[in-house]
Amino acid sequence: MTAYSLEQNKRIALEAFETLFNKRDYQAAKKFWSPDYIQHSAHIPPGRDGLFNLVRAAPPTLHYDNSLIFAQDDFVMLHGRFSGNGRSHNWVAADILIMKNGLLMEHWDVLQDEATREESLSGRPMFGTSFPEPLAGAPLTPEQARTIVAPLYDALNQPAKKDVAALLARATNPDYQSYSTNDTWLNRNQLADVFKMIGAAVPDLRWSIQDILVSGDQIVVRGEATGTPERELFGAKPTGRGFKTMSIDVFTVKGGKLASAYHVENWVGALEQLGK
């Protein structure tokens, strides 16, 4: 057991985090971290120097805020948030420390990306009482990309039963351009008409996301379309047979919505399946 009280341990832990992460005073921080500091976190190199060097390499905007702190015996647990970390999301962290004689001796942590209101399934903030705003200029994550494109692909699933225009408005900017070649494109209203036309010909049309990749402000989706036409589709009469085909979409995102797309679908292969 430590000679320090639980309240002293909590105060020391908070002062240590303030000194290292917010003030970046490495010399002063040495008085809080043991020279024999043991690190269990998978993303931090071992020892006190490993932690200090990680902070030195972090963006100058890095900042720690604490929400909750608990202490029992030699253990202190903090629930906090690391913002300004140069990533697409703040980190919400649970840090568990062993303290002895006023020093931080050993550390474990659990980290999660802080969800925005749109990303939260629980509908409750992960830190404090409010949701964070989406970080401007932050790189897209696959989860964000999937959320952005989801309404467009929803519009391609049985379009005859959907408000296609409303779904496209949720996913795309008003000046959205959909390229089927390198030179020709459709605006959002024209694209909605195409979706409705395909949906009328193929009432059971299903269009699923099979794979999604993100690079900067671009999203690449490999999709799969299936269905059985009941009306003429691209000049092919219905035969009672169905098709399964692949699509590739390359989207560019601006302001959190789709600004443009270059797309390719293997309709030739799909029509061949109908005639077999």
Give the tens place of pLDDT for each residue, 177-215.
999 999 999 999 999 999 999 999 999 999 999 999 999
Nearest CA to 138 out of 155, 159, 156, 119 is that of 119
Average pLDDT value for the chain? 94
Q: What is the pLDDT of residue 140?
A: 80
- Identify whether residues 99 and 150 lie together within a single domain: no
Over pLDDT 70: what percentage of the chain?
Answer: 98
Q: What is the pLDDT of residue 276?
A: 60
Please answer whether residues 273 and 243 qualify as being in contact, where contact means their C-beta atoms are separated by less than 8 angstroms.
yes
Task: Considering only residues 142 and 149, tell me which one the structure prediction assigns the higher pLDDT.
Answer: 149
Could you tell me the residue range of the domain that residue 79 belongs to? 6-113
Structural domain includes residue 124: no
- Report the chain's terminal Cα–Cα distance, integer Å: 79
- Identify whether residues 151 and 80 lie together within a single domain: no
The mean pLDDT of 52-70, rounded to a whole number, is: 94
Structural domain includes residue 89: yes
Q: How many CB atoms lie within 10 A of CB 29?
A: 22
- Identify whether residues 181 and 224 lie together within a single domain: yes
Phi, psi at 216, each rounded to 5°: 60, -120
Domain count, the chain: 2
Tokens of 255: 């302001």
Q: What is the pLDDT of residue 235?
A: 92
Q: What is the pLDDT of residue 238?
A: 94
Q: What is the pLDDT of residue 193?
A: 97
Q: What is the pLDDT of residue 228?
A: 97
Q: What angle do CA 47, 53, 55 make, to 5 degrees?
A: 110
Q: How far apart are CA 78 and CA 66, in angstroms?
A: 7
Q: What is the pLDDT of residue 85?
A: 86
Q: 145: Cβ–Cβ under 8 A, 6 or more apart, which residues?
A: 212, 214, 219, 253
Structural domain includes residue 128: no
Please answer whether residues 79 and 18 qualify as being in contact, where contact means their C-beta atoms are separated by less than 8 angstroms.
no
pLDDT grade for 87, boundaries at 50, 70 and 90: confident
Q: How far apart are CA 240 and CA 243, in angstroms?
A: 10
Please answer whether residues 206 and 226 qualify as being in contact, where contact means their C-beta atoms are separated by less than 8 angstroms.
yes
Q: What is the pLDDT of residue 209?
A: 97
Phi, psi at 89, each rounded to 5°: -140, 150
| Residue 170, SS3 per DSSP | helix
Check pLDDT > 80 for residue 138. Answer: no
CATH number reported for the structural domain that contains residue 106 in this entry? 3.10.450.50
Q: What is the pLDDT of residues 9-53, one digit of tens each?
A: 999 999 999 999 999 999 999 999 999 999 999 989 999 999 999
pLDDT grade for 144, boundaries at 50, 70 and 90: confident
- Identify whether residues 271 and 146 lie together within a single domain: yes
Tokens of 96: 């568990």
pLDDT grade for 255, boundaries at 50, 70 and 90: confident
Structural domain includes residue 163: yes
